[in-house]
Chains A and B, each alone.
Chain A
Amino acid sequence: MTDQTQPGGSIQQGGVVGTGPSPSWSSIARSEHLIERPGQADAPAGTDQTHTIVVLANDRHGALDRIIGVLRRRRARMQGFAIGRNELPGMARITIVMNDSEVAVEQLVEQLRKIVDVQHVENLTSGQIVARELALIKVNSNESQYSTEIIELAHHFGAHIVDVTQQTLTLEVTGSEEKVEKFVDSLQTFGIREVARTGRVAMIRGVV
């Protein structure tokens, strides 16, 4: 979990430990003048929520630095940061999942729009969205009965086996963060060696 007092917008280890707000969030005392400034990421307890923001940026030198820089300066509590291509050449689509108050997010969106290489920013939080995550999970499979159980479980979650060795099975699962989390949880008994999650990518349903 992100340490509240740390200035950096470090990316949390996503769903393995839960994607909800940090438990320390409401319990840590914040100085009064920070609470009353609506633009601060340190919003009063109870006003924060998880936001999904999509940023389309020119894939140019330094563009990503500036996006990260804004988030760092605001001490945004990031839960996911997924970057990849979209349908346009020379563009990057970034999905940011973060915890912040509503007012502060409004300002964050405007701050992101000020970045020269940012073409478009959308806060998907209130809309009807499709959100998915992909995870690769490497589990122990050295005992033969394990393999059968794992394969059954994978089938149940719609996961694929992408690599097999004598000691391990590597599985690929796609779905909502809840589903990915559940799958990871149910694999715990076999001994998880490694988990790689992409973080959320999202888009609005239907025609915008």
Chain B
Amino acid sequence: MNVAATITQKPEGTKIHQAHRSAEAIEARELTGSQILCEALTREGVEFLFGYPGGAIMPFYDALTSYPTLHHVLVRHEQAAAHAADGYARATGKVGVCVATSGPGATNLVTGLATAYMDSTPIIAITGQVARPFIGRDAFQETDILGVTQPITKHNFLVQRVEDVADIVHEAFKLARGGRPGPVVIDVPKDVQFSKTQYRSSASISSIERFRATRAPHPSAEAITRAAELIKGAQRPLIMSGHGVILANAYEELLAFAEKTNIPVITTLLGLSAFPETHPLALGMPGMHGPAHVNRAIGESDLIIGVGLRFDDRVTGKVSEFAPHARFIHIDIDPSEMHKVKRAAVPIVADAKEALTRLIEAVEQGDNGTWINEMRSWEAENSERSASIQRNQEYPDPTSILEAIRAETKDEAIVVTDVGQHQMWTARHYTWTRPNSHITSGGLGTMGFALPAAMGVKMGKPDALVWAVAGDGGIQMNIQELATLRQEGITVKVAIMNNGYLGMVRQWQHFFHNGNYSETPITGPDYVKLADAYGLTGIRVTKRQDVEAAVHQAMNTEGTVLIEFVIESEANVYPMVAPGSAITNMIEESPDHD
């Protein structure tokens, strides 16, 4: 069926097109708080808003139709709005914006804000609030969203006067993207949205300027010299790179630094695609589901250069046994990350790009041939057992699905994963080569992330081939967004790895709860019928030999396509480190495949 032809476009003319007006002309007349909000968003270069209207945000939605450059995407649940803004931000490096009404609208954003907070992505949430006289009086749809979001936002604002709207919006954008990025909430009471004033934005806000100055520090010359000395003296050095490399757009610097020093590069889950995995110095992912040789290398290393990562517990396992022989050079833009998990011999509080640039100048050419060969021999020794999934000739197996996607997209896809087994399989087996081609909810591990985030990615990168890979559990958490994809005519290809279980939880039950599969078997809809019901295309694949053809068909069908891959029901992700145990102590697949 020709999907493209049947997609209902947003009717033209619903937005009142206005002639270009100069900033002076706008500032000369009185505007409502809502108009100022729209004006400020426009001046910040916002292209897309992901949101859902409701009582307390209605004046804003009324003004929105007069600002045709602000493209609003109507999601089907506010959680998806936050994830879509997050996906947009991760893919473009720009600030993503989501909008919701007060009360339930705002609280539905919470999971998305927490996701962005944990993974340091810049998003702004604009929430309606009940009118000022009603705040604190349990008014209809009133929630203290500032209180609710306080621990999961970088900052949040309650706009108390219409005169402050413009300043707060501009301040919020600076905060969201400055230093270590993060989410910012702007809560706007309904009567402030109605109130009128002239558009005024003061040139600078002293507190924010100070904040920016201290939060984007430069690496000290002393620290760089000391780091170069440690690197020179190291026999078994490793680079561990995280999300900070991607956020700082420091791919080239990381590559140049690794190549000059000849130090192998480990990439964390959120660091995947920061360094090409086809490069001879690429080692792989560490931690709970990393291949054995990577964790063994960490165990043997005498120097770890951490770039833009926070040594999360899924990476370190038992901290006292994590890299017991290593000293640490830790580069991070956030000073509170220093010594948090491991005491750094050289803490470098700086943007990853700047720190790496300075380090490249300071270090000498390195060799590390013996050390690299040693690691490669471990890799060869373990490759069989380290394979996280056994090839299955009958069912579509995750590796073949991922290989088919990679081949069919000529390695040009941006892959957005959900959370669980498929996420680990994808992380391990996709072979990441293009910068920022892997997007996932790492820190918070938010199921339901993939579909709406992929939607945001596609909006931000309209020319990219965007694939969402999800399990049958996670996809059902935000499945309603198929309607949004359809209404907006957004093309995302969706691969569902359906094993009829909440697979990762089942795997833990298998290892740590005596195989008591409590509430992990899960059913789902007929995905082909579901896709059809939403006006999209669905494909069901039950045999290994049909995988490539299905992926090919999906790529050659216009619009969003859902492929349900029925995979082996009880496959595990190998190897695995039990939570709280040393990462060198891995559970590997037994030859008889359990």
Contact = CB atoms under 8 A, between A and B. Distances in A.
Contact of B336 (A36, A69, A110): A110
Interface stretch (A77-85, A114-122, A195-203): A114-122
Interface stretch (A13-21, A58-66, A124-132, A160-168): A58-66
| Range for the number of chain A residues in contact with chain B | 20 to 34
B43 interface: no
Interface string B151-186: 100111110100000000000000100000000000
> Which one of B160, B319, B340 has the greatest number of beta carbons of chain A within 10 Å?
B340
B210 interface: yes
Nearest to A115: B155
Interface in A77-109: 103, 106-107
A114 B181 CA distance: 12
Contacts of A106: 339
B6 interface: no
Given A33-B580, A38-B341, A69-B150, A111 B207 contact: no
Contacts of A110: 334-336, 338
B318 interface: yes
A37 B341 contact: yes
Contacts of A33: 318-319, 580
Contacts of B134: none
A40 to B, nearest CB: 9
Interface string A130-173: 00000000000000000000000000000000000000000000
A62 B147 CA distance: 8
Contacts of A39: 339-341
B340 A116 contact: no
Nearest to B579: A33
A104 B336 CA distance: 10
Contacts of B318: 33, 36
- Report whether over half of chain A's contact residues are helix, strand or loop; otherwise say mixed: helix
Nearest to B207: A58
B175 A116 contact: yes
A55 B427 CA distance: 43
A158 to B, nearest CB: 40
B319 A36 contact: yes
B160 A116 contact: no
Nearest to B321: A36
B343 interface: yes
B320 interface: yes
A114 B160 contact: no
A38 B160 contact: no
A62 B156 contact: yes
Given A38-B343, A39-B341, A107-B339, A62 B210 contact: no
B18 to A, nearest CB: 34
Nearest to B338: A110
Interface residues of B, number: 29
Contacts of A182: none
Contacts of B343: 38, 103
Given A39-B340, A69-B151, A114-B334, A62 B158 contact: yes
Interface string B137-152: 0000000001100110
Nearest to B147: A65
Q: Which of B210, B318, B336, B343 has the most CB of A within 10 A?
A: B336
Contacts of B512: none
A47 B340 CA distance: 16
A119 B151 CA distance: 19
B208 interface: yes
B339 A62 contact: no
B340 A62 contact: no
Contacts of B155: 116
Interface in B308-355: 318-320, 334-336, 338-341, 343
A10 to B, nearest CB: 17
B151 A73 contact: yes
Interface in B185-200: none
Interface string A64-76: 0110010001000
A61 B175 contact: no
A65 B150 contact: yes
Contacts of A37: 319, 341
A122 to B, nearest CB: 14
Nearest to B318: A33
A38 B158 contact: no
B150 A116 contact: no
A60 B249 CA distance: 34
A165 B155 CA distance: 49
Contacts of B156: 62
Nearest to A40: B340
B580 A61 contact: no
Contacts of B175: 116
Contacts of A111: 336
Nearest to A31: B580
Contact of A38 (B147, B150, B340): B340
B511 interface: no
A36 B322 CA distance: 11
Contact of A107 (B150, B319, B340): B340
Contacts of A113: 214, 335-336
Given A37-B341, A66-B150, A116-B211, A107 B158 contact: no
A116 B178 CA distance: 11
A99 B339 CA distance: 19
B336 A61 contact: no
A116 B319 contact: no
A69 B340 CA distance: 18
Contacts of B160: 61
A136 to B, nearest CB: 30
B287 to A, nearest CB: 15
A71 to B, nearest CB: 12
B288 to A, nearest CB: 14
A62 B336 contact: no
B277 to A, nearest CB: 31
A38 B342 CA distance: 8
19 contacts: A33-B318, A33-B580, A37-B319, A38-B339, A38-B341, A38-B343, A61-B157, A61-B158, A62-B156, A65-B147, A65-B150, A103-B339, A110-B336, A113-B336, A114-B215, A114-B336, A116-B175, A116-B207, A119-B207
Interface of A: 33, 36-39, 58, 61-62, 65-66, 69, 73, 103, 106-107, 110-111, 113-114, 116-117, 119
Given A62-B158, A65-B146, A107-B336, 20 more contacts: A36-B318, A38-B339, A39-B339, A61-B158, A61-B160, A65-B150, A69-B151, A103-B343, A110-B334, A110-B335, A113-B214, A113-B335, A113-B336, A114-B215, A114-B336, A116-B155, A116-B175, A116-B208, A117-B207, A119-B207
Q: Which 5 pairs of residues, A with B, have the shortest CB-CB distance?
A: A110-B336, A39-B340, A116-B155, A110-B335, A36-B320
